Every structure is written in structure tokens, then in C-alpha cells.
Structure 1
Amino acid sequence: MTMTDVPSAVRAHWLAVTSVAVGTFTVVTSEMLPVGLLTSIAADLGVSAGTAGLAMTAPGLVAAVAAPALAFTTRRMDRRLLLIGLMALLGVANLMAAAAPDNAVMLAARVLTGVSIGGFWAFAAALGSRLVPERSVGRATSIILGGVSVASVLGVPAATFVSSFAGWRSAFVAAGVLALGLLAVLAATLPPLRPPAEESGPATREKRSSWLSGPLILVLVLTALTISGHFAAYTYVRPFLEQVSGAGPALVGTALLLYGAAGVAGNFASGARAARNPRSTFIVLVVLMAVAMPALLLTGVPPLAALVVWGLGYGGVGVALQLWLMREGGGELGTALFVSSFNVSIALGALAGGRITDAASVPAVMGAGAALTVVSVVVAGIWGRNRTTGS
């Protein structure tokens, strides 16, 4: 390579990183779509809000299985081809959901979405070290994982905004078009990506032992507690705002946009601190969530301030957990286990929230979500002190 080739090579590396980040944003946004559209989906498909919440449960459960299954069964496949194929599947699944005539077709589409989510996220999270020089790995990884975090806090308000003008199906169409458009970008920017050498061989007992180290188990447990608590409550935040706070469509959209903006701020504000001390950063963020959820129940007006605090907390949680995981190691398969835990927690949280909503009330889910986040803080504070190198 000549000196004149270096700038274009560097640009190509960062274009690849950016395209993968857009990919992680797209898959996680697709997973979150039903949250802001739940009321409209339920009414159009003729089901209860709790049943409509299965559109969140299904992809989460499938992604939880797909992440480790694909990481194990595709150990010898080019990661570039896998990422392109999974993005194509996501595009088809979103368009299928947009056209769903009933809840059965919607759930089938969401199953396909789950396969794409689990595989793409698991493979993408570890690509930073393969796309840029060693000195830039931290920055590249932050950008790629930032796609997950930004999607988690912006996907819902963006979908709600689009649906307020053209209906809930338009949000799925937009996500499907974005996924299919991204196919060409991934194909153009990603180099061939052979599977990592450490993952391509047989799964030895020593490898399995390193994947299931004490600190890694701690990260998985904290992921389960925090994410399930979040989604038990957040999946039903729109019905809460409408039924308890009396907010109309415009105010609901504004509230979710404020939540999203706060989440992005929390994501970037906590990133540098989490890189140095993920445990303490995680605890602070989850405390914010645990305070915000019950605060929603104590106000008689649309609780914008509580949603902002909630967004600040949750916006940084994903980055803190991911940086904690990276510090403890585990490679692609360790990342796949984290993705599995994250997504099964989304599914179980949404499912539990639906059952609580149908059996008790919408406000009750806020208390349930707060309780789980409090348990997460206690576990991180007690078990985390002795079980992690990131303390």
C-alpha cells in the first residue's frame, strides 16, 4: 500500500464502522417499534393491550435463542455475508408486519425480526477490533454499540412521531425500507470478515469455563434484572400516559421525544465514566431509573420530568453493561450470551408487564419495574463488589 492509499483505507474502515452502527440502530429500533404503537396496534388488530404486547415478547425470546445459536452454528462463515443476510431478513420482516391483517401474522413477522436482532447484534458488537487499528478499537466499539443505545431511546419516539401522521403501519414500512436500503451500504463498506480464530474451533471445556466466569455471570444477572424491570414498565408507558395522566397523542409524542433526547444525553455522558468504572456508573444510572418509575405515580400532570430522569438513566445502562462485559472478556460467544440475556429480559419484561396490566392496572407496572431495578442496584452493590474486575 502506498502513502496515497492510506487516507482512503482509513475512510473505508470508518465507513464500515458507521454502517455497522446504523445496522445495530436499525435492528434495535425494529425491536422497539411496538412500544410507542401499542394502543394503535391493539385497536387495529382487535386484541387487548396485553396481547398486543406479545409483539415485543416474541422477538425478544427468539433473539435470545438466535444469538448463541447463530454464534455457535456459523463459526466458520464470513461475518460480512451473515450481517448482510440478517439485514435482508429484517427488511422483509418489517414489511410483513406492516401488512399484517391479524395478530397471528404480526407475531410471525416478529419471530423473523427476532432472528435478525439476535444474530446481527451478537456479530456486530465484536467487530470494532477487526475494522480499525488497535489504537482506535475503543472508539469504534463505542460507535457500534452506540447504535444499540441510541435506538433504545430514540426508536420509540421516532416511530410514534411517524405513526401520528400516517398510522402505525407506516412506522414498520419506514423501518423495512431502512433495512433494505442498508443492504447496499453494508455490501459496499464491509470487507470480507473471516470468523475469529478463537471462535472457529471446537468449544472446549476451557472456553466454556471462560465464557461463564463469575464476573460474566454477574453482568448477565444485572442485565436480566434491569432490562426486564425497564420493559415491564416502559412497554406500557403510552397507555399509562393516556389513561393515568390524560395525555393526548401530541403530548404523548412530546413526552417520548423528551425521554429519547434525555436517553441520548445519558448515553454519551456516561460512556467515558463507564469505560473507567462500569460498576459505579451502572449503579448511579439504575438508581435514576428506580426513582423515576414510582415518581410517575405521584404526579397528577403529564410527568415529563420523571420521564427525562428515566431516559437519562436507561440511556447509559446499555453502554455501561457492554463496557463491563468487554472488560470481563468472552469474545463473540460471550457477547452472544449477553445479547441473549438482554433480549430474553426484554421479552419477559414486556410479558410480565402485559399480565400485570391485564390482571391489575397500568399504574401497577411502574411499581413492578421499580422493584426489579432496586434489586439490580442491591446485587451490583453487594455481589459486584467481590465479583468483578471493574469495581
Structure 2
Amino acid sequence: MSSDVCATVPDARPGEAGDAKPVPPEPVSSSWAAVFSLAVGVFGLLTAEYLPASLLTPMAADLGVSEALVGQSVTVTAVAAMCSGLLTASLTRRIDRRIVLLGFTVLLIVSNLLVAVAANIMVLLLMRILLGVALGGFWSMAAAVAMRLVPAALVPRAISIIFSGIAVATIVAVPLGSYLGELSGWRSTFLAAAALGVVTLVFQLFALPRMAPHGTARLGTLWEVLRRPGFGVGIAGMLLVHIGHYALFTYIRPALENVVKVDVDELALLLFVFGVANFVGTLVAGWLLEISLRLTLTLTPVLMGVAALGLALLPAGRAGYVALVVLWGLAFGGVSVAWSNWATRMVPDQAESAGGLVVVGVQSAIAGGAAAGGVMFGIGGVTTVFTVSGVVLLASALLIVLRVNAPRHRALN
């Protein structure tokens, strides 16, 4: 990995230049094998996170506890991911980034192995905390590491490939977990997830280059990053987009059953189509980001808002409703990619800290969106959820257009 080239920083507005710190130099060549190894890592982490959703009943029966208590394995993972996302940059600032990433993959393996042999719910929950540490840390570093694996012009494409692991996990984790659980038991499913982690670790050992630490992050750096001109407004826009989406996504099943009028078999197929559209959207976003970051940030919530309002208010017919669901999945595929790119461009000198704040924002929005959706669902059913969320998504797009800075990478000689 060469480091004898210029650094990249975003176009600065007056008064911003003094806030920036030295930026790690960009590479002169691309390390696509390393990029794909990170995508596999994201896939393994998200697959492990989603597995309990398809295995709650057998896990609860085997451990002698309620399904609600087993469901807390998802909650503790999310909370640990939030904490890890915030702390990783400062706690590991003196460690080679390759070692840190490999360490997170080891945590993934250990977590799945010990969940597979857990004798009681407490052991299981503790091991899911380990998974959360790996998940939040890995995610917070992903975009920053991409900046060190490919030249600046290719960073959007690299991040889209890395985050495609999320979309693939969304498609396969729940149905695959359910199938393997029925075939050989829930413990064997987690053993399979551990085996996937071992494959990932071997791939990363060969693919990831050494990446000497460049960070100066401390806990106070998070507050400094939030105070950078334009960063806080951008985080607010990101929160609105994610809250709008997750209020919708929490109630996707009743929406498809009551609005699109699908049966159980058709529901599974349509959810699969949604996941495939999400994966395609992730890759398309990488191409679109090379054209315009602002366009990508704005277009994704606009398309999701249109889809939500269409599902709630238009007599679109069954084919039209299916098309709106596909549009929704396609648009959301670009959201994580776009905002991760935005964070690295806004704060290239503290990209890992910025990534940690993005992780916390997304996890908070998941909880907030689900809670807000629950309130709206109780008031007026799925139509109210989709109408209000659609308006929130369109409002977030307006905020992005008017107030969110979308800088371009610029090389300094």
C-alpha cells in the first residue's frame, strides 16, 4: 500500500479549513481483494445479528425461557454496537487497522461458537454483546478503511461493495437460518455462522494490507466532529431518513397483507424481491455517488417517500403496488452507502469517528422509527404509518437540498 501521494479533503467553505487535521494519504492503486474481504465480513456480522429473528421459538424452547427474553439478544447486540461505534476510533487509535479489523472477525467467530454451546440465556446474551462490539466497530471503520484501499475517485464504489454485504445478509439470513434450524437445530446454525467467520478471517488475513494508524481520536473528538460546520445538520438529515424508513419497514408485513393483498407464500416472495432490489440499489448507489453525492442523498428519501405515499394513498393495483415495493427497496439500498460517503467527505481527517457517529445515528433511528411507527399504527393503522413516514422522508429530502453540505473530494498537491 503506497502512501507517497496527495491526501484528499472536501471542498472547504470559509472558516472551515482551520478545523481540519492531516488526512491519511490516498493509495495510488486499488486493493479490490481487500474491499471484497470487508464485504464478506459485513455479510457475516449482519447474518449473525439477524439469525435470532428466524430461530426465536427453538432457542426459547431449548433454553427454557420466553421468546421475548431471547428476543433481547437482538437488543443487547444493538446497544453494544452503538457503544462500540462510538469508542472504537479512540480506543484503537494506536493499533494497525488491519489488526483491529481481524480482531473484530475473531470476535464474530467466538461469539457464534459460544452462542452455539450456551447452556443458559445469560451466556447467550453476553456472547451477543461480543457480536455487537464487532458489528459496531467494523461498521464505524468501513468507510474510513475504504479510503485507504482505493483512490479517492473510487471510494464510493468501494463503499457500495462493502455495504452490499448488508443487503445480501438481509436477503439470505432469515430464510437460511430458518431452513438450517429446521434441518439440524438452532445450535448448528450458529456453528455454521462461526464457520463463515473462519472463512472470512482467512480471506482477510491474505487480502488486507497493513494500515498504520493515523488517528488522533479521543472521546472528545466525537464532540469536535459534531461541531464541525455542517456536520450536525447532516446527521439530523440522516436521522430523519432512517426514522422514516424504519417506521415503514417495521410494518412491511401488515402493509403487504392489507394493501397489496398477498398471502403467506407471496409475502415471502415479495420480501425476497425487496431484498434483491435493496442489493441492486446498493451497487447502483456506488455509481451514482461518482456523479453526485447531493443527488444521491436527496434522491433516495424522495423515492422512498413517493413509494410510501403511493402504497398508502394510490389505487395503484397489485402490479403497481409491487412496483412501489421494488422502488422502495431499490432506493433504500443507497442510503447507508450515501451517508457513509458523506461522513468521510465531511470529516476526512477523522473519518473513523465520523463513522462511529453514523453507526449510533442509524441504530438510534432504528429504535426511534420502530417506536414512532408503533404509535402511528395504533392511531390509524398501516395507512397512517405509511402516510406520515412518506411525508417525513420528503421533508428530509428538502432539508438535505437546502441545508446539508455535500462536498466533493479534492486532491491537494
Q: Which band: TM-score by shorter chain?
A: 0.7 to 0.9
Letter in 1 for 2:208: L
| 1:222 equivalent among 219, 227, 237 | 237
| 2:398 equivalent among 363, 368, 381 | 381
In the alignment, the residues of structure 2 paired with residue 172 and residue 14 of structure 1 have an alpha-carbon distance, to the nearest angstrom, of: 29
| 2:172 equivalent among 143, 152, 158 | 158
Partners of 2:116 and 2:191 within 8 A in 1: yes
Partner of 1:345: 365
In the alignment, the residues of structure 1 paired with residue 56 and residue 311 of structure 2 have an alpha-carbon distance, to the nearest angstrom, of: 24
In the alignment, the residues of structure 2 paired with residue 90 and residue 323 of structure 1 have an alpha-carbon distance, to the nearest angstrom, of: 25
Partner of 1:254: 269
Give how far 1:72 is off.
1.1
Say how many residue pairs are matched.
Answer: 370
SS at match of 1:127: helix
Which has the larger displacement, 274-283 or 42-51?
42-51
In the alignment, the residues of structure 2 paired with residue 349 and residue 102 of structure 1 have an alpha-carbon distance, to the nearest angstrom, of: 31
For each residue in 1:36-58, what CA deviation from the matched residue of structure 2 results, as whole angstroms up to 9, or x when unmatched? x3xx5257637888776644443
For each residue in 1:18-72, what CA deviation from the matched residue of structure 2 results, as whole angstroms up to 9, or x when unmatched? 212222233234334456x3xx525763788877664444322221111121211
Letter in 2 for 1:200: T
Structure 2 unpaired stretches of 5+: 2-26, 409-413
1:135-146 to 2 correspondence within 5 Å? 136-140=151-155, 142-146=157-161
**What TM-score do you get using the length of structure 1 for normalisation?**
0.78
SS at match of 1:388: coil
In the alignment, the residues of structure 2 paired with residue 368 and residue 243 of structure 1 have an alpha-carbon distance, to the nearest angstrom, of: 13
Partners of 1:283 and 1:377 within 8 A in 2: no
1:48-87 to 2 correspondence within 5 Å? 54-87=72-105
- Pairing 1:129–2:132 present: no
Partner of 2:22: none
- Indicate the structure (1 or 2) with the bigger Cα radius of gyration: 2
Partner of 1:200: 216
Identity of aligned residues (%): 31
Partners of 1:24 and 1:145 within 8 A in 2: no
Partner of 2:134: 116
Partners of 2:157 and 2:283 within 8 A in 1: no
Partners of 1:153 and 1:311 within 8 A in 2: no
Partners of 1:56 and 1:350 within 8 A in 2: no
**What TM-score do you get using the length of structure 2 for normalisation?**
0.74
Partner of 2:11: none
Change (3 A) 1:172 1:297: farther
For each residue in 1:136-155, what CA deviation from the matched residue of structure 2 results, as whole angstroms up to 9, or x when unmatched? 3442553244322x233332
1:6-85 to 2 correspondence within 5 Å? 13-34=31-52, 37=54, 41=56, 45=60, 54-85=72-103
Partners of 1:64 and 1:339 within 8 A in 2: yes
Letter in 1 for 2:174: T
Change (3 A) 1:236 1:174: farther
- Pairing 1:278–2:293 present: yes
1:320-335 to 2 correspondence within 5 Å? 320-329=338-347, 330-335=350-355
Structure 1 unpaired stretches of 5+: 2-8
- Pairing 1:307–2:322 present: no
SS at match of 2:361: helix
Change (3 A) 1:105 1:139: same
Change (3 A) 1:312 1:73: same
RMSD: 3.9
Partner of 1:6: none
Partner of 1:4: none
Letter in 1 for 2:333: G
Change (3 A) 1:167 1:272: same
Partner of 1:233: 248
In the alignment, the residues of structure 2 paired with residue 356 and residue 140 of structure 1 have an alpha-carbon distance, to the nearest angstrom, of: 39
Give how far 1:308 is off.
0.9
Which has the larger displacement, 377-386 or 66-75?
377-386
1:167-206 to 2 correspondence within 5 Å? 167=181, 169=186, 172-196=190-214, 199-200=215-216
Which has more helix, going by share of residues? 1
| 1:368 equivalent among 380, 385, 392 | 385
SS at match of 2:95: coil
